A and B are shown apart, each in its own frame.
Chain A
Amino acid sequence: MGNPLDDIDWSRVSKRLTAFAHWRLGSRGTWQDAEDLANEAITRVFSPDYKAWDPATEPDLLRHLGSVVNGLISNMSRTAREELGGDVLGEEGTAPRRDAHRTAGVASWVDGKIYATEILERIATEVEGDKLASKVFWLEVEGVPEPKNQAARLGRPIRDIYNARRRLEAKLAMVKEALQKEARDAEEG
């Protein structure tokens, strides 16, 4: 029986994993940072020093590598929070240290008094006009994150769900950008 890592298209894996890492880093990282994370995850899957990829547990290598990248980003965030000494949100009414958000890994973090609650509320409002994207959003919030499960719950083809998720992601990016701009304008004003 061959090794499951034989015959892998590493070009394809690397591009997807790097794109994933870049997305997850957001404003916290460059393409080089993303590629470094992807390469570290790929290297670890070959290394006897780390838990081996078990196709019986997770048949999809890319999902396994994605979870390794998520772990690496979490570790970076935890280290940054420890170095910054505690809650990076700062006191009420104040902006946190300028560098706090860059590596602290609080995905919702935006300079200034921006909280996840506000982001979620805005997204919920923005997607109201898109019935399917709105349903997908609420399923996500309720803890049903898998597209195939969302498709089953909503009785829709998986491709419709994928497209709705892209529209949802676009709304999320737009909301975060808008809130960042508002926060910057408020600081400068």
Chain B
Amino acid sequence: MPKKDENESDRAALAALEESLAMDLLTDAYTDDEIDQLIRARGGDPAAIGARGAALGASLARARRLAWQDAAKEKRQVMEDAVARPGAIPPFPSHDPIPAILAVAAQVGVTVNLSGRKRGETSPVELEKLWRKLHEAKALSEALKAKDAKQ
């Protein structure tokens, strides 16, 4: 009986030989017609295999092209949920809102230049809009971070 080590190395050599010869099927060592003939000769149906393979490839390619839509829908839903959450947008501090606005802008990483404005130059409506936008951005940022941390 061959020694176990010798047999294992011969097994590896034979496996490598078989794998190498089989790889020829994936190259121009065989024409497409020869592949069809080989499949038929060994009892397979090349037309049926090819048709199913074409359908699978087309289906996977289509799914890949549409995958971005699912990701975008999911992100939009996260945004809508984040902003709709109770407390996401605190009440507007109508008395001296500018320091509070600048504070939340800093948290979100947005530069808001109100320092040069005299009080009263920017209307309360505009300031409240800005307050809301900044808090929406903050809520979204936190929601997306939480979603990424879960994955």
Interfacial residues, chain A to chain B (CB-CB below 8 A): 3, 5-6, 8-20, 22-24, 31, 34-35, 38-39, 42-43, 46, 60, 62-63, 65-66, 70, 89, 92, 106-108, 115-117, 119-120, 137, 140-141, 145, 147, 162, 165-166, 168-169, 172
Please pick, from A38, A92, A117, A120, the residue contacting B53 in the complex, using a CB distance under 8 A.
Answer: A38
The 7 A-B pairs with the shortest beta carbon distances in the complex, nearest first, are A14-B53, A10-B57, A11-B50, A145-B20, A116-B10, A11-B54, A62-B26
> How many chain B residues touch the partner (CB < 8 A)?
46
On chain B, the residues within 8 Å of A38 by CB distance are 53
Q: In the assembled complex, how far is the CB of residue A169 from the closest CB belonging to chain B, in whole angstroms?
A: 5
Q: Known pairs A11-B51, A14-B50, A42-B56. 10 more at Cβ < 8 A?
A: A11-B53, A18-B53, A20-B25, A31-B43, A34-B44, A42-B57, A60-B26, A107-B18, A120-B17, A137-B17
Contact of A10 among B1, B6, B39, B53 (CB under 8 A): B53
Residues of A within 8 A of B22 (CB): 20, 23-24, 66
- In whole angstroms, what is the CA distance A172 to B15 when docked? 12
B44–A22 contact, CB under 8 A?
yes
- Taking a contact as CB atoms closer than 8 A, the residue among B17, B27, B35, B63 that contacts A19 in the complex is B35
Alpha-carbon distance between A63 and B6 when the two chains are bound, in angstroms:
30
Inter-chain contacts of A120 with B (CB < 8 A): 10, 13-14, 17
B12 to A, closest residue via Cβ: A116
> Can you list 29 contacts pairing A with B, beta carbon distance less than 8 Å?
A3-B64, A9-B54, A10-B56, A10-B57, A10-B58, A11-B50, A11-B54, A13-B53, A13-B57, A14-B49, A15-B39, A15-B46, A15-B50, A15-B53, A16-B25, A16-B26, A31-B44, A42-B56, A62-B26, A65-B26, A107-B11, A108-B10, A116-B13, A117-B10, A140-B16, A140-B20, A141-B13, A141-B17, A147-B27
